[in-house]
Structure 1
Amino acid sequence: MPKSQVRKKKVYTPPSDIRPAAAADSKKPSPVWLPATAVILIVVGIAWLVVYYLSSQQWPVESWQYWNLAVGFGCMVASLGILSRWR
């Protein structure tokens, strides 16, 4: 049986004229404050929740009642949003 001919595939090269600014921007490293801020927000959020539970729901702000949970978890969610920008 005869053997079929092997075809060479062309190597794909992306066009350089489409969004050259985006390619240059993606290689820029993140600033130093970004991960530091995220870690601080995580620590503040966890500390806020721990203080709230250990003080029998009287501290950090007694009049906020269960909104203290929103503040603690909000800090941690904000840190996740910041970490999504980290390169």
Structure 2
Amino acid sequence: MPKSKVRKKTAYTPGTDRKTPVAARAQGPTHPVYKAVMFGLMLLGLVWLIVNYLAGREIPLMAELGNWNFAIGFALMITGLLMTMRWR
């Protein structure tokens, strides 16, 4: 059986049109208010869902919203969870 040809690779040389990388500036810790809002939204969403399960029919606003209470509670919690991506 004939042997296949071996291809030679050329050495990598970076292009001259690329800029030198810029150092990212160091960012400090997250402000305490940001943390409070983040955790507050997560807890508020949890409390909203718990109150909906326990006393949703007795509270007029929650009774009017019906199944939208689930969307509101989960939206609050997800907003808090999305805020964790910017937490340093």
Please confirm whether the aligned pair reaches a TM-score higher than 0.5, indicating the same fold.
yes
List alignment gaps of at least 5 residues for structure 1.
1-16
Do the aligned partners of 1:34 and 1:83 also contact (CA within 8 Å) in 2? no
Identity of aligned residues (%): 29
Counterpart of 1:61 in 2: which secondary structure?
helix
CA distance in 2, matches of 1:56, 1:31: 35
CA distance in 2, matches of 1:58, 1:82: 32
Q: 1:76 to 1:66 in 2, by over 3 A?
A: same
Larger Rg: 2
* Per-residue deviation, 1:43: 1.3
Q: TM-score, normalised by structure 2?
A: 0.66
Q: TM-score, normalised by structure 1?
A: 0.67
Q: 1:58 to 1:70 in 2, by over 3 A?
A: farther
Q: Which residue of 2 aligns with 1:4?
A: none
* Per-residue deviation, 1:56: 4.8
Q: Which residue of 2 aligns with 1:79?
A: 80
Counterpart of 1:30 in 2: which secondary structure?
coil
List alignment gaps of at least 5 residues for structure 2.
1-19
* Per-residue deviation, 1:64: 1.2
Runs of 4+ off more than 4 Å = none
Aligned Cα root-mean-square deviation (Å): 1.7
- How many pairs are equivalent? 68
